[in-house]
A and B are shown apart, each in its own frame.
Chain A
């Protein structure tokens, strides 16, 4: 394991404004290994990798590649040193073909002619050698997420890169696709490539990597040989303190009340479809929707809260909600707020129809400000300034405001789509507790999340969405990561207590 270090970080620091993103980061990676970079959101792992890939320039410290100090001004410099990176968000143009997306990365003068046939043969040879099969003539929008990721890796391989950086590669994959990816990565390792994988999923670190570097609060805590460590130890190193296990729920679902009933729902928008959706949510119940992103979650959300943009002919079935309904949007900046407007207006958004905030056609600003202040206090939203533009709040505080706005209406039904995406761990706990509290007060919750852990801690039942259909249902006592994971990958599971509707 103590081969020549191919990458060395020596006391690297970088700060953005007042925030120190990396301080005194030092670690090394041996050639021909798979190296995990782990840490929570905001721990500084992506920043360090972005320095390695030339996207940021370090304020202090040195980066050495094969013992030679380098100072990349841009990703081009990094690519010239045979470093490639697959970002979390793929850099692909959806309307163009897979081939064109790779051709973009080949050098040549502006007016050189693209020899597509020749290049395609060449790339197919590379793809075959590493076991990456891709339809080069397909448009990106026609490829599965897994295939898009293979294409991104192939893009790097076609440039003879020796070091591959993968940023959260499994976030968008089904368990089966994750297996394939890991298999391929092992193959690349055996070809002598060095692979860095950024992740916060510890099980993957254990099963895949040779060694691992743990980041916390901008610093490197330690670098370990994976086989000499274990899950619990890594988790503790990552978080810094032992996690509290979620409390078991005390009350049972109130089956006398149905807050949401969906029958025979079929809907379609762009390329996204759902078929024959039947389910219900009781009061005092949290129902989780599991599934890899892109299996119809977006259209399901749309069908439930706003049917605008859905053509009548593209929508059939019945959705009935009893009582007040609120929602946390899956993408708060896009769907949940007016970024440039002050906090109080954002608090008012969605409640503009409520009688207590209106006086005839006029808004009652003093009332709104009062409620906003109360929410800021109760939910510990910082800074405590109701006139600050929403976009100036941190992600966690933004989401707290969104949650505060929704829950202050004492809803009967809560649609929580990705309620903790992109927020820090403190806010995650806070939001989970608020959801449990709302449930205990009698609300029914529909929880849509891509985090299986979140679904399993909160839900009473989990429905699995695959290619626009519910293919499985699990009750709390039967929750198992393996079976739910299999269902997310399309394996139909017939459970004894499956009771659709």
Chain B
């Protein structure tokens, strides 16, 4: 019975912890399926976490924070899209610059708003979520995988990443499709960040994403750029995270496992997953290539 409780708790924790990863990796999926590498996911998440927490703090309403996070994500991703689509800047270098930018801009705004570069004010229970983001994430997985299979714009997205010349020849603007995909990916990744600050925690704290943007990319690769397998990959990484939290303070033969070692578990799992399975994973053909 104890074991049953343990596993149920672990399972629920996994689902909770998977939420931010699922949003971010779905965002990454539509961006990369359109042919644009998205190393900037981490910065979109940070932005979403911060904007969400700030908006929820002032409005005292979680859903307003949620929508604000989405808009914030759209905005920063639009700037990213401008650089990589219009200015043809290197996608990986630009992505890393955005991660730096988010790490710099957020304390900057935080200082102006709260006169502190640390965490945002803690949110009361009523302006936080109890389960909703998890539900939204699950619905988003289903909706995206249906959309990708059954709609014309889903087909456009696939062509933008597989053979943009063909899409162009059919009379659809590849640039527009990529702009839409990248900005939307910002919105989704920002929801991932907001589910950290409004759902898993009760405020924004500096660098709270802790590399989840990169884990989302790893799940995307692991899930072969497809919605449902990507979702399952997110669950795997979230499980590692949940075990990590469970193991903290646990004693084995009277000695405690150093917390630092437990904390690096998800990162090790990510490396193993990426190194062990990438051979079978094929990215979209035009990924990262210029038009």
Contact = CB atoms under 8 A, between A and B. Distances in A.
Nearest to A100: B155
Given A74-B171, A91-B165, A94-B285, A104 B151 contact: no
A104 B164 CA distance: 12
Contacts of A94: 162-163, 285
A220 to B, nearest CB: 27
A112 B172 CA distance: 15
A155 to B, nearest CB: 9
Given A75-B171, A76-B171, A91 B153 contact: no
Given A75-B169, A75-B171, A93 B151 contact: no
Given A111-B153, A113-B150, A104 B162 contact: no
Interface string A80-109: 000000000001111110001101110011
Nearest to A103: B155
B171 A111 contact: no
A114 interface: yes
A111 B152 contact: yes
B152 A105 contact: no
A79 interface: yes
B166 interface: yes
A110 interface: yes
Contacts of B156: 104, 110
B162 A95 contact: yes
Contacts of A92: 163, 166
B158 interface: yes
A78 B282 CA distance: 35
The interface residues of chain B, by DSSP majority, are classed as helix
B278 to A, nearest CB: 15
B251 interface: no
Contact of B170 (A95, A105, A110, A111): A105
B158 A93 contact: yes
Contacts of B150: 113-114
B54 interface: no
B285 A91 contact: no
B163 A93 contact: yes
B151 A113 contact: yes
A105 B168 CA distance: 10
A111 B285 CA distance: 24
A104 B285 contact: no
Contacts of A114: 150-152, 155
Contacts of A95: 162, 282, 285
Contacts of B163: 91-94
B152 A93 contact: no
Contacts of A100: 155, 158
Contacts of B66: none
A401 to B, nearest CB: 26
Interface in A58-81: 74-76, 79
B167 interface: yes
Interface residues of A, number: 22
Most buried by A among B150, B152, B153, B158: B152
Contacts of A91: 163, 165-166, 169
B171 A112 contact: no
A108 B156 CA distance: 11
A138 to B, nearest CB: 16
Contacts of A101: 166
Nearest to A85: B169
A253 B166 CA distance: 49
Contacts of B159: 93, 96, 104
Contacts of A111: 151-153
A58 B24 CA distance: 47
Interface in B160-197: 162-163, 165-167, 169-171
A447 to B, nearest CB: 31
Nearest to B176: A110
Interface in B132-154: 150-153
B162 A110 contact: no
Nearest to A91: B166
B167 A110 contact: no
A451 B150 CA distance: 44
Nearest to A104: B170
B166 A104 contact: yes
B171 A93 contact: no
A109 B152 contact: yes
Interface string A129-147: 0000000000000000000
A333 to B, nearest CB: 15
B289 to A, nearest CB: 13
A64 B166 CA distance: 27
A76 B153 CA distance: 18
A175 B163 CA distance: 29
A207 B170 CA distance: 33
Contacts of B171: 74-76, 79
A93 B166 contact: yes
B158 A96 contact: yes
Contacts of B158: 93, 96, 100
Nearest to A105: B170
Interface in A147-202: none
A103 B285 CA distance: 20
Contacts of B162: 93-96
A110 B285 contact: no
A414 B89 CA distance: 41
A100 B156 CA distance: 10
Contacts of A105: 170
A391 to B, nearest CB: 15
Given A93-B158, A93-B159, A96-B158, A112 B166 contact: no
Interface in B185-232: none
B287 to A, nearest CB: 12
B166 A108 contact: no
A108 B172 CA distance: 11
Nearest to B171: A76
Interface in B250-291: 282, 285
Contacts of B285: 93-95
A48 B162 CA distance: 29
Contacts of B169: 75, 91
A64 to B, nearest CB: 23
A262 B285 CA distance: 34
A283 to B, nearest CB: 42
Nearest to A107: B171
A123 to B, nearest CB: 15
A412 B147 CA distance: 59
11 contacts: A75-B171, A93-B158, A93-B285, A95-B162, A105-B170, A110-B152, A111-B151, A111-B152, A113-B151, A114-B150, A114-B155
Interface of B: 150-153, 155-156, 158-159, 162-163, 165-167, 169-171, 282, 285
**8 nearest A-B residue pairs (beta carbon):** A93-B162, A91-B166, A110-B153, A76-B171, A93-B163, A105-B170, A104-B170, A108-B152
Given A79-B171, A93-B285, A103-B152, 10 more contacts: A75-B169, A75-B171, A94-B163, A100-B155, A103-B155, A104-B156, A104-B166, A111-B152, A112-B152, A113-B152
